[in-house]
Structure 1
């Protein structure tokens, strides 16, 4: 589902979350039980908080780490999710002339960082139980979509009743690729001129571990 092909500019992640929440609420309106709204930290957390508030869903996180290209760590060529194997975009690897083996050191470093974030963000809580539930994976936007792909595959292994991916903005290529991984992709805008997620936000400041901690303290308090 794409609301329109014309570009949107969001004031910030809260604004994007409120707009996205209306579409997600429509997509899950006939579902039984409370949906499980899972954020991809860090940027997906404030967006998912708005979606959970609108849908009445349970808010939690699912952790995944991007595997960056050599010398270009911001350019995702793969990703790992909790307890999952690395997932690579083979077309990008071939275009760059590298293999998965060339990235073994990067994978090890990202897995270590993933473990650190699990310990910090969860503070001993178990991972959310997705089996048999309507699950909505939320991020603040998708460029290559490889991190979301790793998370979706990890969640699919838990056999959810229905698995949705919801983002305010994404590249058309990411939307097409991930439509095969999720039962439904809810994206407010997939502009043909897409270059980077941050270009579609007025305020796209980098979030910190403390920001995620604050959100998760609210989850723990309501559990």
Structure 2
């Protein structure tokens, strides 16, 4: 365990440890999809160890009217992008169709901006028939990861492996039916935040995302 009681020194350390637990998938010719931005340094280490392509999967939250932090669902990158709604929140809030469409268009614009920034004109690699490893730096509530997994259902992937360094056990249990397999190194209790399990947990910049993708042949160009 890293110093100070933190299981991981930083995201790269967590990625190397996660990669060791995923080596059995190397022969499956996987593709690694990281959730930006924090998942990319972790995914970089996994993709390097597995000699696999690395890309990002962009997920944008759809906020509730007057409460943007309350997620009605999310827009998940794809062809076309998938909107994944949270049935419980939708039932409680009952947003108008106009609100959903406005939010969808706004987040689609931001998704396209980030996609251009991170990937340039290159499309998301074909996932049909592939083993997809979805990576993040950790899971707290699971909302974004749940949306990503549900969005990937339409990709035609052979199997989707959810791989994270740390997450609460109860959230993992709820996500398990949405993935072919779940790999998680640490399930501490009590669980307050992802960052508390890292010794060094700075915000990942767009520039770092672009640089790491470039090492795998997938940069979109300079940040703007």
C-alpha displacement at 1:39, in angstroms?
0.8
- How far apart are the structure 2 equivalents of 1:211 and 1:190? 27
Runs of 4+ in 1 over 6 A off after TM superposition: none
In the other structure, the counterpart of 1:51 is 46
TM-score, normalised to structure 1, is 0.83
C-alpha displacement at 1:169, in angstroms?
0.9
TM-score, normalised to structure 2, is 0.82
In the other structure, the counterpart of 1:4 is none
Matched, 1:180 2:177: yes
- How far apart are the structure 2 equivalents of 1:11 and 1:46? 13
In the other structure, the counterpart of 1:39 is 34
Matched, 1:81 2:76: yes
Q: For structure 2, which runs of at least 5 residues remain unmatched after alignment?
A: 220-224
- Shifted more, 212-221 versus 56-65: the winner is 212-221
The residue correspondences of 1:1-223 to structure 2 (distance < 5 A) are: 9-26=7-24, 28=25, 31-32=27-28, 34-68=29-63, 76=71, 78-82=73-77, 83-92=80-89, 97-101=92-96, 104=100, 105-220=102-217
In the other structure, the counterpart of 2:222 is none
Distance 1:167 1:90, change over 3 A: same
C-alpha displacement at 1:92, in angstroms?
4.8
C-alpha displacement at 1:69, in angstroms?
5.7
C-alpha displacement at 1:43, in angstroms?
0.6
> 2:64·2:93 contact (CA, 8 Å) conserved in 1?
no
Aligned length: 211
Q: For structure 1, which runs of at least 5 residues remain unmatched after alignment?
A: 1-6
